[in-house]
Each structure stands twice: as C-alpha cells, then as structure tokens.
Structure 1
Amino acid sequence: MKYKTIPVTPFAQNCSLVWCTETQQAALVDPGGDIDRLLGAIKQEGVTLSKILLTHAHIDHAGGTATLTESSGLPVEGPHKEDEFWIDALPQQSQMFGFPQVGTFTPNRWLNDGDQVQVGNETLDVLHCPGHTPGHVVFYHADSAIAWVGDVLFRGSIGRTDFPKGDHPTLIASIKEKLFPLGDEIRFVPGHGPESTFGEERRSNPFVRG
C-alpha cells in the first residue's frame, strides 16, 4: 500500500490518499475540503478512487464528503455511529468555522471496533478510539506498520476533548489501550501536523507519557 498526504482546509488537515499498488484502487481518508486539490492528486497518481474513509465527522475531516459522493456516488465507510450527530451538524459547523457551506450525508457503512475495510487487495483494521469525538475510529494497516489516527494523537500532543461529547479520560484510554499496544515501531499519520511513531509519543509526549 502507498499513500500521499494532502493538507486541506484552513486548518491544514491531513487528508490521505491511500491506494493498493496491485489494483490501483484508492480511498480518501478524511476529505475535509479543497476537492479540486484532492482530485488533482488522484489524477497525478493515476489511481481510481473507490471509497471514502472517515475517522470522525468534524468539518475539517468530513466537510468534502457530501460533494464527493453527490458527484461520484462513492461509498462512505466510517466513522462509528456515535458521530452521527456531528454529521447532522455539518452545515452548522461550516457556518461556525467559516467554511464553505456543506451538506450532510449518511455513511454506507458505520464502523465498529474490530471491523476491517478493503482498499483494493489491502485490508485496514478498524479501532474505535473515542474521546475526541464519541465515534472516532482509527485505520491501521498492519503490513505497512502505519495507522491513520485522525485527531486522537499528534506529535507531542493529543486531541481536544472540549467539544460536545468529548471526554479526556476516554481519549487517554484510547491511546494507551488501543494504539500503543500495536507497537512502538508503528508510524502514524495524524489529522494535523507531522507524522510520528507510537514509541516516540509513548516516551516523549507529555500528555500520555508514563
């Protein structure tokens, strides 16, 4: 599996184009906006977009989803159903944060802990990691030792928990009980900022160290 990170929206959210090198089938993880930029990256890589994967439903991660699905009919997988209220609130989120007006959508498949999603011949494991939002999920590709963690964990920081239904102890538990046991060597793409590894964050991140 290969991937390309494409920062989108004024929040510099890390949308990822991930694809299977055998089939050239691809998915967009968290297409928050800037659709033309995303479509340009797909064309540049010569891959075929087959689905959208969502870690959670905040506007900077999910804001481009309705536009993409309306024009293409692409299926949407994720997040967990506990984030449905965030999807319903996308129009209000766009007004609140000064984003272009966006529509709502219904995922073709809500994801639960232990589920798997396919991108071509590649399999991603799904981990339900609430705390930042109640329905937040993480996508983990074991063969590549990489995870797309949305806003659960960042290099040197963690996700905010002051949004509706956020919960700090739950977020810490998600990181320590779901992510860190995958192994210190696992690299992760956060929702914002540079990549890191779980080992580096376990050792040095002041929010989760110890």
Structure 2
Amino acid sequence: MRLNACSLVIGCLFHLLAILLPCQSAHDPTKSFVSLPFNPSYYHIQSPYNLPEKKRYNFVNGVHKCWVYSTDKPHSRTSRTKPRTEIAILGYRYNSGIWEFEAYGYVPKGTSGVSIMQVFGSKPPRATSLMLMVYGGSLRYYSKGPVVLADVYDKWFKLNVIDDFDSGKIRVYINNVLKLEVVGRGGKHHAFKCGVYAQRKASRRMESRWKGIKISRKRA
C-alpha cells in the first residue's frame, strides 16, 4: 500500500514539473516571414580603418570569416569604439514592422570577450537593443545576461533573431528553439550586424564565421 502511495505521489510530482518547466521544443521561427534579397548592396564590412579589408575579412565558398585583434584600430579614424570586423547590414535599416536575422554561426575556441551579433539602434546613451556576446565558451545576452548557448565553440549553430520593432520585443532562437525573449531599448531605427566586436576583457584574437545569412520581414 505504501509503495503504491509513493508511486502515486512521484507520478503527480513529475506531472506537475512537466507543466511548470518551459517547453524547449523546436519549431520554425521563419513561418510567415518573407525572405529579402541579401548581397553586398545591402551590407558593408566594418573593419580596422588602417588595414585592407582582406586582412580581417574574407568570403570563401559561401562562408564569411571575420577576425580582429584586441590591439587593432577601430573601424574609422574618428571612432572611439573597440576593434571590430562586422558585417553591417545597414541597407535594411527599419523603423517599423517585425524583422528577422537568420544565419549559421561558428566561433573558434579561444574567442572571448566579444559581441558576435547585435541589433544596432537604441535610445541614447546606449547604441544597441541586443548584443550576443561570447564569454568563456558561452553565448549570452550582453556580458552578464542569460546564456543562450552554453557550449558555443567549434560547431555550427543556427541563429534566428526576431525584432518586433512595434512591440519592442526581441526573441532569440538557437537551432529553432526559443532561448531568450527581452524588451528592446527603443531608438529611431534598428539594423542587424554580425561578426566580431571586441568588448570587456577581449581575447587577443577574436573570430566568427557566418553562412546562409538571410534577412526577412513578417507579412503584414
């Protein structure tokens, strides 16, 4: 009798946990989105101003490779920001609607203290509404926020970032699973960037690779 009672209690507990724990099931985050053209007329490379672009970026066999050193110059003579090599998709700056960035990313082991993807645009004094940063092998929301991918090194992962400009909500999916939902930081316009942008306690060399980049907008 006691064994049956214990089994019933345990069964109830597992049922309760199944209700309380968030669902991590995969689904297609691109549903109802329309893919837009993506080519060099919609993006440009921001890299150290004193070096030829090819010294910090290449595009071979469909893979964008971005790297930078912590001792490099910023992307312009007048900038006071840290070194970066980023694919700045400024041809799709938006101030309304629901927009999506999709790509497969890869971060080599040893890269740390760096932003690899951002939603550019915010109310002053901030410059971004979202940054995904690598610290100690984890991909997280800014430097101390929630982890969205615990082991990011040396493997391809699918990243989808959906920015609902009108509601102010931003969602991050890893391999089609929702990992983060946050409130953006406003601003007049937003745009997507990916690559490497040095942050606090940056490693000597930072690198990320990207393929299959797509920009989409949700159907009205």
Q: TM-score, structure 2 length as denominator?
A: 0.27
* Structure with more of its chain in strand, by fraction: 2
Q: TM-score, structure 1 length as denominator?
A: 0.28
* Structure (1 or 2) with the larger CA radius of gyration: 2
The one of the two structures with greater contact order (alpha-carbon pairs below 8 A, sep at least 6) is 2
* Structure with more of its chain in helix, by fraction: 1
